[in-house]
């Protein structure tokens, strides 16, 4: 049973809670006790008798012996196995032991258990945490298994642990950061998309900066041990504020919770020392309250307590971490559907109207009876024409508007809009590409909305350079400038989606994406700025920027899978518009972020800067970006000559 049906949550946003159990030979009973009666959604249960060791099996029995699994595949229905059971791989295995017999026994057992789980079509198996700092042989074996797996996931159990620099003993030479262990394991397994993480949440938590790294990794489950709970005034389990916040973040990132350990809190109707599978065959007793029920209830309470998602966020749920190719509005004509979506973004047009009003007030004195010539370049189906006329009305200024639009399909709508609104005397529609239009007069104000997620990436600079010909020398461009921004991110989901195409082209493409399961590793920094009008003599829209990012000192190492990109535009004076996280315009939905992937993810450490280079290159018929890293080590320059990704002029 999902954690409550919340108002404002889609079914896809339900969260489940599992329970870690001991080995049982009676799977149906285990499910009845923990799920039907206990209220949990699934069990994380061992599949094989923990005393089993292949090397101790009687040699004589040989091929005839039956492996000590928890019952046959028939004891549960296929859907019960797959919906309610996560296989817990024997925790004694140690593939990197110095003891060769233990190593060989471990490899055999691991392969047998996963083959069995695969046979049962379980959704996932929980792999025990590597025993030491070295995990090469374990990873090699898991990597072999991953090559032949159906859709089952393997969750590597990793304690959420990082010793802090300042609390470090002077004598102890090495810090423990469990992320390093995970990183080594997944690198050895080549970022396999079915290898995921189950985080063991302990009673003490590492720093916030180190915690956030995990939200860019493929964490599927968080196992909270009963020991990690505090006790409230009434004797019930509860979590510390920091733990509560963390659990809320788990919910937000679709990470399922699992309760592990014995009950250590009083719970009405159950003796406190029962473990999860310590049930009785007596039916009357088995309907008694599950010993871990109060932990489950508390987790459910935390889920219920969360604020519902804002409507816009809920609308965008389906877009989270989904890669889209950026629009090419200059080369291609937008479709009605796209105009429809963008026109609904009222916040954006309110900002435009404010900017135009301010410009009109600045340009035309109150008493003057001057008609301002305003040109909307890229008028689309007319939202900026409307904003301009509203600004004129609001300020009491007279306008003459030219609406220039290259898309003949949008021009049709524009004509009917003008007729419908009775704007025929004020608005002149020009069906032409602004770069080639021969204007009959010059404009006081040039209004455009040509920005992409990365500012200049839909070629606003090139379009406005062309349109500038018909702007008066003292005329105003709205926007007057815009700047792109990037920040390094951990984004294993995005990286794996790019990688799944198995070619270089996809690694050298920038994507529009609603980034969600992503760790932002450092504040964003400005990249390229364009200002309009631009009367400098050596007018070039080529750009080159070198950036240096530092990860927080207490964060630990982290993996950079690429860069999240944003923009901020100055429309007019203090009126801005943008998606850069620290200054983003609230409640605007026209733009998601952009994502520039790295072909080979880069591991960075505190104290060692990440040096990044971005180029905007211009050719005869296209504009493109190239990017690379030069520190901690040099990468290849990506997208050389725009071979993979470019925007057509």
Q: Which residues bind a second copy (CB under 8 A)?
A: 103-104, 134, 136-137, 139-140, 143-144, 147-148, 183-185, 187-190, 540, 544, 546, 600, 603, 613, 615, 626, 628, 630, 633-637, 640-641, 643
Phi then psi for residue 601, to 5 deg, are -55, 150
Structure tokens at 363: 């340009």
100 or 574: CB nearest a second copy: 100
344 or 539: CB nearest a second copy: 539
Complete DSSP assignment for 576-617: EEE--TTTPPTT--S--EEEEEEEEEEEEBTTBPEEEEEEEE
Determine which one of 20, 217, 405, 449 is catalytic. Answer: 449
CA dihedral 324, 325, 330, 336 (to 10 degrees): -40
As measured in angstroms, the least distance from the Cβ of 138 to a second copy is 11
For residues 404 and 433, give the distance between their C-alpha atoms in angstroms, rounded to a whole number: 7
CA dihedral 116, 118, 119, 125 (to 10 degrees): 50
Is 59 exposed, middle or buried (CB count within 10 Å of its CB: 0-12, 13-18, 19+)? exposed
139 or 463: CB nearest a second copy: 139
Contact 488, 521 (CB under 8 A): yes
Is residue 424 annotated as a catalytic residue, yes or no? no
Provide the β-strand partners of residue 19: 43, 259
Determine which one of 217, 458, 508, 626 is catalytic. Answer: 458
301 or 544: CB nearest a second copy: 544
As measured in angstroms, the least distance from the Cβ of 266 to a second copy is 46
Complete DSSP assignment for 390-430: HHHHHHT-EEEEEEEES-HHHHHHHHHHHHHHT-TTTEEEE
What letter does residue 233 receive in the DSSP assignment? Answer: T
141 or 387: CB nearest a second copy: 141
139 or 575: CB nearest a second copy: 139
Strand order in the sheet with 471-478: 427-431, 398-405, 371-377, 443-448, 471-478
Is residue 458 annotated as a catalytic residue, yes or no? yes
How many other β-carbons are positioned within 10 Å of the β-carbon of residue 271?
12
As measured in angstroms, the least distance from the Cβ of 147 to a second copy is 5
As measured in angstroms, the least distance from the Cβ of 50 to a second copy is 23
As measured in angstroms, the least distance from the Cβ of 191 to a second copy is 8
208 or 600: CB nearest a second copy: 600
As measured in angstroms, the least distance from the Cβ of 14 to a second copy is 36
Helix (H) or strand (E) holding 299: helix 293-305
As measured in angstroms, the least distance from the Cβ of 535 to a second copy is 17
Q: Which of 595, 614, 587, 592 is nearest to 526 (CA)?
A: 614
Contact 520, 487 (CB under 8 A): yes
276 or 598: CB nearest a second copy: 598
As measured in angstroms, the least distance from the Cβ of 572 to a second copy is 29
As measured in angstroms, the least distance from the Cβ of 117 to a second copy is 19
For residues 196 and 208, give the distance between their C-alpha atoms in angstroms, rounded to a whole number: 21
For residues 530 and 462, give the distance between their C-alpha atoms in angstroms, rounded to a whole number: 10
Q: At what angle do helices 100-119 and 136-147 cross, to 10 degrees?
A: 30
97 or 240: CB nearest a second copy: 97
Contact 473, 572 (CB under 8 A): no
Q: Which of 198, 200, 202, 243 is nearest to 217 (CA)?
A: 198
**CA quadruple 262, 263, 265, 271: dihedral sign:** negative
For residues 248 and 229, give the distance between their C-alpha atoms in angstroms, rounded to a whole number: 15
337 or 537: CB nearest a second copy: 537
- Own/partner long-range contacts of 362-368 (Cβ < 8 Å, ≥24 apart): 363/444, 363/445, 363/476, 364/397, 366/396
1 or 636: CB nearest a second copy: 636
As measured in angstroms, the least distance from the Cβ of 73 to a second copy is 25
CA dihedral 52, 58, 59, 64 (to 10 degrees): -80
**Cα angle 617-621-626, degrees, rounded to a multiple of 5:** 25
Contact 596, 627 (CB under 8 A): yes
Complete DSSP assignment for 531-587: ESS---SS----EEEEEEE---TTS--EEEEEEEEEEEEEEETTEEEE--TTTPPTT
As measured in angstroms, the least distance from the Cβ of 148 to a second copy is 7
Query: Which residue numbers are catalytic?
Result: 449, 458
């Amino acid at each position: 049973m999902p954690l409550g049906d919340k108002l404002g949550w889609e079914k896809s946003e339900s969260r489940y809670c599992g329970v870690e159990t001991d080995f049982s030979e009676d799977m149906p009973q285990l499910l009845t006790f923990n799920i039907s009666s206990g209220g949990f959604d699934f069990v994380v249960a061992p599949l094989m008798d923990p005393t089993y060791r292949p090397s101790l099996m009687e040699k004589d029995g040989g091929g005839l012996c039956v492996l000590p699994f928890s019952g046959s595949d028939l004891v549960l229905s296929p859907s019960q196995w797959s919906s309610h059971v996560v296989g817990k791989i024997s925790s004694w295995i140690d593939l990197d032991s110095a003891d060769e017999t233990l190593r060989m026994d471990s490899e055999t057992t691991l392969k047998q258990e996963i083959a069995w789980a695969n046979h049962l079509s379980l959704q996932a198996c929980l792999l025990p945490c590597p025993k030491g700092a070295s995990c090469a042989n374990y990873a090699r074996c898991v990597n072999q298994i991953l090559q032949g797996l159906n859709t089952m996931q393997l969750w590597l159990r990793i304690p959420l642990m990082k010793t802090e620099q300042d609390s470090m003993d002077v004598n102890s030479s090495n810090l423990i950061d469990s992320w390093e262990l995970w990183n080594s394991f997944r690198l050895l397994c080549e970022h396999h998309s079915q290898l995921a993480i189950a985080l063991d949440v302990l009673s003490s938590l590492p720093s916030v900066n180190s915690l956030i790294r995990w939200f860019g990794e493929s964490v599927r489950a968080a196992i909270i041990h009963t020991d990690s709970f505090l006790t409230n005034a009434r004797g019930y389990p509860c979590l510390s504020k920091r733990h509560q916040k963390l659990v809320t973040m788990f919910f937000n990132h679709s990470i399922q919770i699992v309760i592990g350990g014995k009950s250590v809190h009083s719970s009405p109707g159950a003796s406190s020392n029962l473990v999860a599978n310590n049930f009785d065959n007596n039916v009357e007793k088995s309907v008694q309250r599950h010993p871990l029920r109060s932990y489950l209830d508390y987790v459910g309470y935390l889920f219920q307590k969360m604020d519902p998602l804002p409507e816009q966020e809920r609308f965008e749920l389906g877009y989270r971490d989904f890669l889209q190719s950026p629009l090419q509005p200059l080369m291609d004509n937008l479709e009605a559907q796209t105009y429809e979506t963008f026109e609904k973004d009222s916040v954006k047009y309110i900002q435009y109207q404010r900017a135009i009003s301010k410009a009109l007030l600045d340009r035309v004195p109150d008493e003057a009876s001057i008609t301002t010539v305003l040109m909307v370049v890229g008028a689309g189906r007319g939202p900026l024409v409307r904003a301009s006329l509203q600004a004129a009305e609001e300020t009491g200024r007279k306008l003459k508007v030219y609406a220039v639009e290259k898309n003949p399909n949008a021009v049709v709508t524009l004509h009917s809009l003008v007729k419908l609104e009775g704007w025929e005397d004020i608005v002149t529609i020009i069906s032409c590409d602004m770069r080639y239009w021969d204007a009959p007069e010059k404009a006081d104000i040039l209004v455009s909305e040509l920005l992409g997620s990365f500012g200049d990436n839909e070629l606003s600079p090139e379009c406005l350079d062309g349109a500038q010909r018909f702007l008066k020398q003292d005329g105003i461009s709205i926007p007057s400038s815009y700047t792109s921004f990037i920040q390094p991110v951990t984004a294993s989901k995005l990286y794996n989606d790019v990688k799944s195409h198995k070619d270089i082209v996809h690694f050298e493409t920038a994507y529009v994406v609603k980034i969600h399961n992503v760790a932002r590793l450092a504040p964003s920094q400005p990249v390229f700025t364009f200002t309009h009008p631009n009367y400098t003599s050596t007018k070039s829209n080529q750009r080159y920027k070198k950036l240096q990012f530092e990860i927080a000192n207490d964060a630990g190492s982290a993996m950079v899978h690429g860069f999240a990109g944003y923009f901020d535009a100055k429309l007019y004076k203090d009126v801005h518009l943008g998606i850069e996280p620290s200054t983003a315009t609230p409640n605007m939905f026209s733009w998601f972020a952009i994502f520039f992937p790295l072909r080979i993810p880069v591991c960075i450490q505190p104290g060692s800067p990440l040096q990044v280079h971005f180029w905007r290159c211009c050719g005869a018929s296209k504009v493109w970006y190239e990017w690379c890293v030069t520190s901690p080590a040099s990468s290849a320059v990506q997208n050389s000559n725009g071979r993979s990704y470019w925007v057509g002029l």
